[in-house]
Amino acid sequence: MVKLLNNTYTTFKTIFNGMGITFRHLFKRSVTVQYPEVRDVLPERVRLKLHVNIDDCIGCRLCERACPVECITIGTIKSTDDDDLGETSTGHKKRLWVNQFDIDMAKCCYCELCVHPCPTDCITMVEDYEYSVYDRQDLLFGFSDMTPEQVNEAEEKLAKEALEKKKKKEAAKLAKKKKAESSENQPAADEDAEKAAKKAEREAKRAARRAEKEAEKARKEAEGGASDSGSTGASDESQPENRQDPNE
Ligand code: SF4
Ligand code: SF4
């Protein structure tokens, strides 16, 4: 009997407590909003969804590395020398094509660790919370704006450039090797030329000496001939002197 009375008392007490709270709220300002017609003002720095301004992304992958749950996947292709990808709004030079930039919001824990290292401030949390889906695969958001054709073109161009560079490098290597070989042979060629020059010099000296000797000989012969003819002339000249006129 006592237990029954106790239970009845507790029942009425809790009912009056609950009704009292409800009654008090009848005279207070309402805190609920008529969503979606009415939307509440969101607090500052709210973390709801990630957005990437792909035009400003330089493909540095700092955000990908910072993510603790690996929900960011980035793919890049190097631009070729003749490509000019321009600059970001923060003045950073773009050198990579970003052919993939996926964020899996189903995995994201809203820590915002990916936002802070970004050098161009292009990955941010935005005030968008209305992205409920039936399939969790639909929470994989892609931000790259490259078409498959553009990706193929960029990859082909890069492969072609790499091949050309390789060929040029090999040609330069070959030319360098040839130059080194010719410079190795050059001293021998110089030595030969020197020897030939010395030989020619020696022969020239020998020829000069020979010519000198011949000239000397010729001179001597000429002198000898002259003395002979001189002596003959004297006898010829002496003849008239010595010749006695028989009449004298
Ligand atoms: S908010 Fe955190 S979990 Fe989400 S993508 Fe960025 S780093 Fe990863
Ligand atoms: S850190 Fe910023 S610039 Fe670098 S890949 Fe991520 S979003 Fe792009």
Lay out the sheet containing 96-104: strands in order across: 72-78, 96-104, 140-142
pLDDT tens track for 198-218: 999 999 999 989 988 888 888
Mean pLDDT rounded to a whole number for the chain: 87
Percent of the chain with pLDDT over 70: 90
Residue 221: per-residue pLDDT: 83
Q: Is a pLDDT exceeding 60 seen at residue 239?
A: no
Q: Is the pLDDT at 174 greater than 90, yes or no?
A: yes
For 15-34, how does the pLDDT look when each residue is reduced to its tens digit (9 = 90+)? 999 999 999 988 888 888 89
Using CB distances shorter than 6 Å, the residues near ligand 1 are 50, 66-67, 69, 71-72, 103, 108-114
Nearest CA to ligand 1 atom 6: 114
Ligand nearest to the CA of 52: 2
61 lines ligand 2 (CB under 6 A): yes
Q: Which region holds residue 234: left if phi is over 0, alpha if psi is between -120 and 50, else beta?
A: alpha
Nearest CA to ligand 2 atom 6: 63
If you measure from the C-alpha of residue 128 to the centroid of ligand 2, how many angstroms do you get, rounded to a whole number?
A: 20
> Tokens 């507790």 — which residue?
10
Closest ligand 2 atom number to CA of residue 72: 6
Residue 181 — very low, low, confident or very high, per pLDDT cuts 50/70/90? confident
Domains of the chain, with CATH numbers?
Answer: 49-146 (3.30.70.3270)
- Say how far apart CA 215 and CA 209 lie, in whole Å: 10
The tens digit of pLDDT for each residue in 104-115 reads: 999 999 999 999
CA angle 158, 161, 167 (to 5 degrees): 145
Q: Is the pLDDT of residue 166 over 70?
A: yes
* Stretch 146-152: mean pLDDT: 95
Write down the pLDDT at residue 227.
55
60 lines ligand 2 (CB under 6 A): yes
| 29-60 pLDDT per residue, tens | 888 889 999 988 899 889 999 999 999 999 99
Pocket mutation for ligand 1, best pick of 47, 101, 112 (most atoms within 8 Å of C-beta): 112
The predicted structure's pLDDT at residue 226 = 56
Average pLDDT over residues 183-193: 76
Share of the chain above pLDDT 90, in %: 64
